[in-house]
Chain A
Amino acid sequence: MARSLTRRLFLVGSALVGGALVVGGGLAWRRLDGAARHRPATGPGETALTPWFKLTPDNRLVVFVPRQDMGQGILSMLAQIVAEELDFDWARVTAEQAGIHPAYANTIVLADGSPPALRGMMENVAKLIGVQMTGGSTSVRDAWGAMRHAAAAARAVLVEAAAARWQLPASDLAIERGIVRHAASGRAAPLAEFATDAAARALPGSPTPKPPAAWRLLGTSPLRLDIPDKVRGVARFGIDVRPQDTTDTTGGLLYAAVRHIPLVRGELQDVRWPGGKPPPAVLHEVRGRDWLAVIAKSWWEAERALGQAELVAGGASATTVSSARLRAQYRAVLDGEDDPKKLPDLGRPIRRVFNAYGDPDRALAAAAEKARFSADYAVPFLAHVPMEPLNCTARIREGKVDVWVGNQAPTIVQWLAAGVCDVPAEAVTVHTPWLGGGFGRRFDLEVIRQALACAKVTDGRPVQLIWSRREDIQHDAYRPMVAARMTATFDAAGQIALWQHEMVGPSVSKSVMGRMNPMLAGDYPPDVTNAEGAMHLPYRFAHFRCRHAQVDLPVPTGYWRSVGNGYNAFFVETFIDELAQAMKRDPYLLRRELLAEAPRHRAVLEAAVSAARWNAPLPGMGWGRGLALAESFKSIVAMVVDVEVIDQKVHVRRVVSAVDCGRALDPGNVRAQIAGGAIMGLTAALKDAITLEEGRVVQSNLHDYPLMTLAECPHFETVIVNSGAALGGVGEIGVPPAAPALGNAIFAATGKRLREMPFRLT
């Protein structure tokens, strides 16, 4: 079990290091071969024609969504795609979480992370291991292949079945709002009436989905299916799970609170309680490598009891690491230091060139001192802080394991639980409730391991383990600290000759996979997520190089909404603004000129600038306007930010964006995601840092890791550019341009160039 788990995780990890880079597109749903024959369980009279949906006798469409909804609206979005192909009335559509099955694998997230030469292989790997995963802004792109084509195939056999029963040519039948109609005779019947007949027919291998011109639902924003329950407060998140089971004679749900040793790295050596024993509320103590959990009848009591415990750390603790020390070592790495003795927290860096063209060395050598321009940038560690703190509910009873957890990869949760409990994967049921935010945080498995460890000692009683917000902030897998040195040279005509992007940081994928399984923490393939948003720029230069020095950190790091794109856009888009200033050029016009070979990017930039009235005067003194452009997850966003700086305090007044994600399938939700992503990016730029001192995280809750409030939130306008290009992701793309557009606006207002996040004006 352990070995095969390692192998499977390694395959996943090898793919993930690539991030989600290449659009799959056009994958026929038949690629799933045998898996496509899977049918979800149905009730009396219901028919499932594909793995993804069923029709009920009263002509309702129930869509099984194999992706996790953390607020991005994917449950409703994928249902909308199916409903479009079947021409169903939106009021008759519902959606449910799908179970775990290889048919539901996300093949885009795996295959597209791989280097081009390995893509075909990784696609096959994805089929074989069948991982359901939500990340890399891939869900719609994946469904666009499999789910949409499956729905189109089902539509075809439903129409055939109706034609056969009515003895009419299929081409004379139409579907309107879930009703099959024959216009000439006026015959009409609900689609569901033909479901049984249709199920007996072979699904076409190459069905034709509807062309965009025929869409009724896609391209509009019907009420998201999840919203009414969320407004009424009846949507159930992981933390709200209350396993109800009439056969349960064990006494019902118990709660566990958890505390980690205060250090970012180390082991739990001992636990000291006042008086030598825990308070009476504590029913069980469970110890892990670097944590203690206590189980009680109330989470509040368990948490209160933990307040009395002294956790003694030992082992190879990182007791001296600090953000300042890491910064100094990062700087040394940028200066070329390779000696591990001088880099005690980092070890010997692995230096890689992720992309280069032209002749960067010659360009550097040729440029006189005054024809070079260089600037150093840095971003701190960041916590994810989903509003719902991490939690997991687990029950181990009679050889069966139930896990209720907001997660981003139920297949991996199932593997983990099977391994931990030593049962076959089929004995594990993973229940995925609503996720109260994700942002990459719910890839991590530690909370699940902890809950399972607790469930092992409660004789079949379910246990709900919840991290306090303090644990969440102090023991996250953070967006990494990264430092960059950006260099440009100018040619004799004063134009940019060389663009060089050098940076230092850890491999996030290595950290993530190493936590999933320590056997994976050794040598690791190059992590493309480090360089996404830096290695392929739409701007064209004569000479280009993107270098990365990979270091190991004593701090766990994780995927954080937009991953490498988030900080790389800050470096790239701030630096280009600096160059415009040095060249005495308008930052918009310089970008536009460099986009000569990137018409889509140019169109998006122009759309944002035009909507924002880039050249219109600002309201008054202290105001500034800044611009940034970033491609991520195959979508392009340009953002114009207006700020007002009063007494050194930054007020973000307006954010105007233009977005090209190919086509906006739900424009309202695209706007919501752009604003949400931008708010996350602005929050990071203005407010937040996780800082380390003496091996500990300084921040501990939302008072010292604050979030943007309603009062601070700017006015948003978002223009959608429907280029018709292949679909791009939407859930993360609002983040990257926000911080640089803001920094550039602050520069315009104050003349202060901010090269480190969070921005400090004084």
Chain B
Amino acid sequence: MTRFTVNGRPADVDAPPDKPLLWVLREDLGLVGTKYGCGIAACGACTVLVDGQAVRSCVTPVSEVAGKRVSTIEGLAEEGPQAAVAQAVQRAWIEAQVPQCGYCQPGFITAATALLAQNRAPTEAEIEAALTNLCRCGTYPAMRVALRRAVELTQKGQG
């Protein structure tokens, strides 16, 4: 039994300790917003926050998050110290109409939220270093617009 919190709620999971957090979220907890893309931490579609840090849940054994706070796309803008930043990021993402197929977007939005929650004025280089997720549709140009807007909204304290 592994105990942790997901989006502010306690979770008790009866899964093998080496089962990746990604599959615990999707199969045991029914939280399917976090996506499987590669299974080797290369694409970032599975990005979640663990105690506020962006981690790739496909290579994170569930035992590693025992006692920790996990935030997924379902709760990112609802609960936790990053919620206001996540609201700003999501608003900017909608304004810039970023998604195409949308599959990689929860991972990007989560990674962007983690960055902006820790650094309200990231440089272009800091953004590029933090957002190493992969998108096959090629939404990067719209994402750049959204990221600039999200920084603006975060600095103004608007979600």
Residues of chain A from 197 to 248 with CB closer than 8 A to chain B in the complex: 221, 223-224, 226-237, 239-240, 242
Q: Are B102 and A71 in contact (CB under 8 A)?
A: yes
Q: Are B23 and A676 in contact (CB under 8 A)?
A: no
Q: Which one, B30, B129, B141, contacts A242 given CB within 8 A?
A: B30
Tell me if A's interface is mostly helix, strand, loop or mixed: loop
Cβ of A292 < 8 Å from any Cβ of B? Answer: no
Cβ of B131 < 8 Å from any Cβ of A? Answer: yes
CB distance from A67 to the nearest CB of B (A): 14
Q: Are B97 and A300 in contact (CB under 8 A)?
A: no
Residues of chain B from 1 to 38 with CB closer than 8 A to chain A in the complex: 15-16, 19-20, 23, 27, 30, 32-38
> CB-CB contacts of A160-202 with B at 8 A, as 1s and 0s?
0000000000000000000000000000000000000000000
Q: Are A385 and B136 in contact (CB under 8 A)?
A: yes
CB distance from B150 to the nearest CB of A (A): 12
CB distance from A443 to the nearest CB of B (A): 16
Cβ of A707 < 8 Å from any Cβ of B? Answer: yes
Q: Are B23 and A300 in contact (CB under 8 A)?
A: yes
| CA–CA, A678 and B77, complex, Å | 33
Cβ of B135 < 8 Å from any Cβ of A? Answer: yes
Q: Are B136 and A387 in contact (CB under 8 A)?
A: yes
Cβ of A351 < 8 Å from any Cβ of B? Answer: no
Cβ of B74 < 8 Å from any Cβ of A? Answer: yes
Residues of A within 8 A of B151 (CB): none
Q: Are B101 and A702 in contact (CB under 8 A)?
A: no
Residues of A within 8 A of B129 (CB): 711
Tell me if B's interface is mostly helix, strand, loop or mixed: loop
Cβ of B43 < 8 Å from any Cβ of A? Answer: yes
Interface residues on B, range: 35 or more
Residues of chain A from 51 to 85 with CB closer than 8 A to chain B in the complex: 69-73
| CA–CA, A301 and B33, complex, Å | 20
Residues of chain A from 240 to 296 with CB closer than 8 A to chain B in the complex: 240, 242, 255
Q: Which one, B35, B45, B100, contacts A672 given CB within 8 A?
A: B100
| CA–CA, A239 and B99, complex, Å | 18
Cβ of B54 < 8 Å from any Cβ of A? Answer: no
Cβ of A338 < 8 Å from any Cβ of B? Answer: no
Q: Are A709 and B109 in contact (CB under 8 A)?
A: no
Q: Are A437 and B94 in contact (CB under 8 A)?
A: no
Q: Which one, A298, A676, A711, contacts B139 given CB within 8 A?
A: A676
Residues of A within 8 A of B131 (CB): 710
Q: Which one, B38, B72, B90, B102, contacts A235 given CB within 8 A?
A: B102
Q: Which one, B36, B40, B94, B142, contacts A239 given CB within 8 A?
A: B36
CB distance from B153 to the nearest CB of A (A): 14
Residues of A within 8 A of B84 (CB): none
Known: A435-B101, A437-B103. A703 touches B40 (CB 8 A): yes
Cβ of B81 < 8 Å from any Cβ of A? Answer: no
Q: Are B37 and A469 in contact (CB under 8 A)?
A: yes
> CB-CB contacts of B110-136 with A at 8 A, as 1s and 0s?
000000000000000001110111111
Q: Are A709 and B134 in contact (CB under 8 A)?
A: yes
| CA–CA, A235 and B27, complex, Å | 17
Cβ of B98 < 8 Å from any Cβ of A? Answer: yes
Q: Which one, B32, B38, B135, B141, contacts A469 given CB within 8 A?
A: B38
Cβ of A758 < 8 Å from any Cβ of B? Answer: no
| CA–CA, A668 and B90, complex, Å | 19
Residues of B within 8 A of A300 (CB): 19-20, 23, 27
CB distance from A146 to the nearest CB of B (A): 25
Residues of B within 8 A of A677 (CB): 138
Residues of A within 8 A of B35 (CB): 237, 239, 387-388, 436
| CA–CA, A235 and B35, complex, Å | 11
CB distance from B70 to the nearest CB of A (A): 14
Q: Are B101 and A437 in contact (CB under 8 A)?
A: yes
Cβ of B50 < 8 Å from any Cβ of A? Answer: no
Q: Are B136 and A675 in contact (CB under 8 A)?
A: no
Q: Are A702 and B140 in contact (CB under 8 A)?
A: no
Q: Are B103 and A436 in contact (CB under 8 A)?
A: yes
> CB-CB contacts of A694-723 with B at 8 A, as 1s and 0s?
000000011100011111010110000000
Q: Are B101 and A707 in contact (CB under 8 A)?
A: no
Residues of chain A from 294 to 313 with CB closer than 8 A to chain B in the complex: 298-301
Known: A389-B37, A702-B134. A710 touches B101 (CB 8 A): no
Cβ of A466 < 8 Å from any Cβ of B? Answer: yes
Cβ of B73 < 8 Å from any Cβ of A? Answer: yes
| CA–CA, A239 and B32, complex, Å | 8
Cβ of B39 < 8 Å from any Cβ of A? Answer: yes
| CA–CA, A439 and B109, complex, Å | 23
| CA–CA, A364 and B94, complex, Å | 58
Residues of A within 8 A of B32 (CB): 236, 239-240, 242
Residues of A within 8 A of B102 (CB): 71, 226-227, 229-231, 235, 237, 434, 436
Residues of chain A from 546 to 566 with CB closer than 8 A to chain B in the complex: none
Cβ of A679 < 8 Å from any Cβ of B? Answer: yes
Residues of A within 8 A of B36 (CB): 239, 389, 466
Cβ of A607 < 8 Å from any Cβ of B? Answer: no
Residues of A within 8 A of B132 (CB): 709-711
Q: Which residue of B lies closest to A235 (CB)?
A: B102
Cβ of A386 < 8 Å from any Cβ of B? Answer: yes
Q: Which one, A234, A678, A711, contacts B128 given CB within 8 A?
A: A711
Query: Can you report 8 A-B residue pairs in the complex whose CB atoms are below 8 A from each other?
Result: A71-B99, A227-B102, A231-B102, A233-B74, A239-B35, A439-B136, A702-B42, A702-B43
**Chain B residues near A (Cβ < 8 Å):** 15-16, 19-20, 23, 27, 30, 32-40, 42-43, 45, 72-74, 76-77, 90, 93-94, 97-106, 109, 127-129, 131-144
4 nearest CB pairs, A to B: A71-B101, A233-B73, A230-B102, A679-B138
**Chain A residues near B (Cβ < 8 Å):** 69-73, 221, 223-224, 226-237, 239-240, 242, 255, 298-301, 385-389, 434-439, 466, 468-470, 668-669, 672, 675-680, 701-703, 707-711, 713, 715-716
Give me 13 other A-B pairs in contact (C-beta within 8 A), A232-B77, A388-B103 excluded.
A231-B94, A242-B30, A298-B27, A300-B27, A301-B16, A387-B101, A468-B39, A680-B138, A707-B135, A707-B136, A709-B134, A710-B131, A713-B141
